[in-house]
Amino acid sequence: MNPIDDLSIVLTPNSLKQQFFSNDKNYLRAMSLLSQVFNSETEKISFLWNTAALIIRPDAVAGHMARNIFPLLRRRGFFVSAFRTVKVSEEQVEDLWRYQWNVATDARQDLLKRIMGAGEALYLLFRDTSIRFSAPATVHLTHLKGTARIDSRKSGHLRTVAGPAIANVFSYLHIADDPADLLREQALLFSDREMIELMHEARMGNDKGENALESLEALERQVPEGVFSLDSLNAPLVTADDYSEIRMKWREIIQDGLKCVNFVTGNTYNGQDAIIPDDPECSLPLDEHLLGV
């Protein structure tokens, strides 16, 4: 159900985001492609109201726990409608977080590039079947994501079940806050053809959960279990197998992650300090019956 019939508000009610995105090449390209797939504004609104995007990052893949998000999301009314594996470049990392990049320390920026470059990620589109009157699926999924701060994560948060509690910089999942973010980020990660294919697949509404899980397991097989954990820091390095380089890479990333000051104001930041404020109140309010975690 999508009771809001104004496409611009469904995309984002954040006036500053609307202003910046009006000159964002990826967002503009995405809006053009959206019009190629959906003929009417009503169809666009319906698709954007019920679709959310999530990236399972390489740190979650290395932790071998990310599969836990699927049953949790299923209980909340989400199922996978389309997915792709993707290798995120350093340039794309900067573009993904470009409107929050100003609040990140140099150490955090460097670590995000190393984390995302350490392996492939899994990009997922979800259909949200929950009854919502006030906010699109992206807001619902963002609420379930939970905070990046380990000491504030709850047992029902996606980030709690997606990977081991090591350091705040290892937050495992990237989720588009608004439908406008979903479109912009999809365009910066995929070609026109790939994006149109993703939209068509998601539009069909078929449950791709089992296939997505198989794809995740294939990515996990590229990283031996136990490599991404605090225990790995004290384990002797195995240099005689095919995974020695991967073990060393993740060990160094974990060591640096434990020392990382994430934001210029400390371990957290005021969302209003970002180029585009990303506080929850900048999005449409989630329905009260969905607020519990």
Q: What is the largest CA-CA distance in the chain?
A: 61
- Split at pLDDT 50, 70, 90, the class of 41 is very high
pLDDT over 80 at 194, yes or no: yes
Spatial distance between the Cα atoms of 227 and 243, rounded to a whole number of angstroms? 9
Q: Which residue has the tokens 């992206």?
A: 138
Q: Spell out the domain ranges in the chain.
A: 7-274
pLDDT over 60 at 142, yes or no: yes
Task: Note the pLDDT of residue 182.
Answer: 98
Q: What is the mean predicted confidence (pLDDT) over 194-204? A: 98
Range from 57-66, 99-108, 234-243, 254-263 carrying the lowest mean pLDDT: 234-243
Amino acid at 51: T
Q: What is the mean predicted confidence (pLDDT) over 7-29? A: 97
pTM reported for the whole predicted model: 0.96
pLDDT in tens, 51-82: 999 999 999 999 999 999 999 999 999 999 99
Amino acid at 79: F
Q: Which residue has the tokens 């990140």?
A: 104
Task: Note the pLDDT of residue 232.
Answer: 86
CATH superfamily of 7-274: Nucleoside diphosphate kinase-like domain (3.30.70.141)
pLDDT over 60 at 189, yes or no: yes
Measured over the CA atoms of residue 139, residue 145, residue 147 and residue 153, the dihedral's sign is positive
- Split at pLDDT 50, 70, 90, the class of 239 is low
Task: Note the pLDDT of residue 272.
Answer: 78
∠ CA 123-125-128, rounded to 5°: 145
Give the CA-trace dihedral at 62, 128, 130, 218, to 10 degrees: -30
